[in-house]
Amino acid sequence: MTASTKRWLILLAGLVANLCQGVAYTSSIFMLPLGEVMQRPAETWAREWGIIFAMTLAFLPVGMLLSGKLADLGYTRFTIGLGALFFGGGLLMVGRGGSVAYIACTLGLMTSVGSGFAYGTIIGACVRWFPDRRGLASGLAVAAVGVGPIVLAPIASRLTAAYGVLHMFTILGVATLILMGLAALCVSNPPAGYVPAGWTPPAPAAGAVGPTRENLNWKAMLGRPRFWLLYVTYFCGVFAGILVNGLAAPIAIELANFTRNQATGAVMLFALCSAGGRVLWGFLSDKFGRIFMIGLAFILTAAAMFVLHGHVGTPGVLMPCIAMAGLCYGGIFGTFPSLSAESFGVKNAAVNLAVLFTSFSLVAVLAPQVWRITAPAGRKNIQKRFWWQDALQPWASSCR
């Protein structure tokens, strides 16, 4: 097998493994059934579920950091396999049922850490195999996570209806273990100094500030002003997307008078545009530059939020704004892995990306607080408590 063919097969295996991780983002499908099985009051469970869901995001960098050094040393199969064990095992263990603390440890902590193990390793391998198309490769790899909810949500819904929510977790856990385990056997790093046939690495312009040929470790990276600029940019770039992703359904129901099915469509629209944005922005960033495309994402996001602020209850405005927020949110995800590798080198790409990715965890923790503080008065009860309490409540109300 030629190196050219092998790298595309490795990318395909990485896409499969990342798609499996989309299970964590189909929460609207199994949140209510799981609460009913656990016999939790709707409002109490909404609050508890919000904490669990936040955990699925907050611990991703932990797995990326723990696996990063191993992946950078070449142990890609081991780290992805470990990620499969944590992620699939976490889902499998949820199927046994248990207390809220048990669900938080398995569905929240284990799957988040496991996803970090696999996700960071796969992204690092992809940017190494595709130095000529880093934006496209990393965009496709991260897009698979965004496509996951679109593919897996109907599967999870049917399994829950047919077998119950606990058996659904068991089935998905076993399937995830198998698929991610097989993917782990296929992914590896390229030989040192790998260059695709027919491609010549571009020489950086003299005195230019930007991509570097240095391979910095995370300690040296922290000493570069460029890292902190990218850190703040990443933080700001995903903030609006996380807010819209978490509140799309309740806003559609509460303020635009959507039905539950229509609100689900709003969530799916965000997921679809997020997945498409990861590929589109990654591809275009290869042509027009990473910084230019990130700046474009900021401008389009700001425009969408400005329009949404005054017309949030208008369906004809709400849906395009959700789509644009998803597109730009995905674009940030599709661009930053390549930008990180080009800025700090590919040798320690997995660890460096994990450190940069901690900004995403900060957003996952802080975004709900910002919504609580800044939500306009008079919008029913959404502004009275943390958003995860009321944001999920319409789902419970519609099923009574």
pLDDT per residue over 309-345, tens digit each? Answer: 777 777 788 889 889 998 999 899 888 888 888 888 8
- Helix runs in 187-314, H state only: 218-222, 225-256, 260-288, 290-311
C-alpha–C-alpha distance, residues 212 and 39, integer Å: 55
Q: Rounded distance, CA 45 to CA 112, Å?
A: 20
Interatomic CA distance for residues 227 and 218, integer angstroms = 10
Q: What tens digit of pLDDT does each residue of 15-68 get? A: 999 999 887 667 666 777 888 888 888 778 877 877 787 788 788 888 888 887
- Per-residue pLDDT tens for 356-395? 988 888 887 776 666 555 444 434 443 333 333 444 444 4
**How deeply is 199 buried, as exposed, middle or buried, from its count of CB atoms within 10 A (0-12, 13-18, 19+)?**
exposed
Per-residue model confidence as pLDDT tens digits over 212-247 = 557 888 889 999 999 999 999 999 998 888 877 766
Q: Tokens 């995860």: give the residue.
A: 388
Please give the C-alpha separations between residue 65 and each of 130, 234, 269, 295, in angstroms, as whole numbers: 22, 17, 31, 28
CA torsion, ordered 255, 260, 266, 270, to nearest 10 deg: 120
Q: In the chain, pLDDT over 90 holds for what percent of residues?
A: 26
Give the pLDDT score at 35. 84
Burial of 5 from C-beta contacts in 10 A (0-12 / 13-18 / 19+) = exposed
Structure tokens at 47: 């609050």
pTM of this prediction? 0.74
In this structure, is the dihedral angle defined by the CA atoms of residues 282, 21, 253 and 248, taken in order, positive or negative?
negative
Structure tokens of 36? 């009913």
- Is 202:342 a contact under the CB 8 Å cutoff? no
